[in-house]
Amino acid sequence: MTDDASAPRLMLVTPELAETEAFLPVLEAALAAGDVAAVAIRLAPADDRARIARAKPLIAAAQGAGAAALIAGEGVEDIVGKSGADGVHVVGEVATAEAVERFQPEKIVGAAVSRSRDEAMTAGERGADYVLFGMAENGAAWSAEQTLERVAWWVPIFETPCVGFAGSLDDVAALAATGVEFVGLGDAVWRHEAGPAAAVAAAHAAISLARAPTP
C-alpha cells in the first residue's frame, strides 16, 4: 500500500454471482488485505427479493471495510436503494443516462464503456461518476494494450475519474503509471493461486512501485 495521495486506489469487480454465501469469505479476505475504494457486485438474473438477499452480506462487508458497494447486473436498478448499496455500475449509453437521472446525487453512478471514444465522452458528459475501460459486459478483460491506450488517452484530458481494469496483476503497474484514479481487478484477484489477499497485496505493491518518485 502506498502513502502517495495521488496513487490509484483499487476497485474490485466480483464474478457474476448466482449465490453469495461461499463468496463472502473470499471478498472479506480481499478487503482485509489492503485499501479498496469500491466493490462492484455483479448479480446473476433473479427476482428482486433473491438479489437483495444475495447482495446485502457483500454490501455490508464492503462498507464495513470502508469501500463503496455498487450493484451491477441487468435490471438491478430497482434494488439499489432496498439493498443499501452506495450506487450502481451500469453498461451502455442508455443505461448510464437513465441511472444518472434516477440516482444522482444521492448514489454513485459508474459506467463501463466500450472501446468507442465517443461513448466514453458521452458518459462523462452525462454525469457518470467514473468511466471504466477494460472490461467487457460479461466481465472479460480487454487486452492490456487496448486498456492502457484508452486510459492514457482519457486521464490527461477529462475530469471524470477513470477506472482502468487490469486482466492480470502484471498490468497494474503500467496502469498506475498513467495517473489513473482507480485500478479495477476481477479474476486476477478471485483466481489468484495464492488467494485473494495475496493478490490485493501484490496489486498495492505494484502501484507503490509504479508511483515511486524517480531519484
In a domain, 124, yes or no: yes
pTM to 2 decimal places: 0.94
In a domain, 3, yes or no: no
Mean pLDDT, range 64-83, rounded to an integer = 95
pLDDT at 4: 59
> Which has the higher per-residue pLDDT, 4 or 164?
164
CATH no. for residue 76? 3.20.20.70
pLDDT at 138: 85
In a domain, 200, yes or no: yes
- Sign of the torsion angle spanned by Cα atoms 66, 71, 77, 79: negative
Least confident of 25-29, 133-137, 197-201: 133-137
- For 133, the domain range is 9-210
pLDDT at 1: 35
Looking at the structure of the chain, the number of domains it has is: 1
Burial (CB count within 10 angstroms: exposed 0-12, middle 13-18, buried 19+), residue 30: buried
pLDDT score of 163 more than 90: yes
Mean pLDDT, range 105-125, rounded to an integer = 94
Q: CA–CA separation, 78 vs 115, rounded Å?
A: 28
Q: What is the DSSP letter of 43?
A: B
What distances in angstroms separate CA 171 from CA 53, 55, 142, 164, 209, one per listed residue? Answer: 34, 29, 11, 10, 13
pLDDT at 212: 60
pLDDT at 116: 87
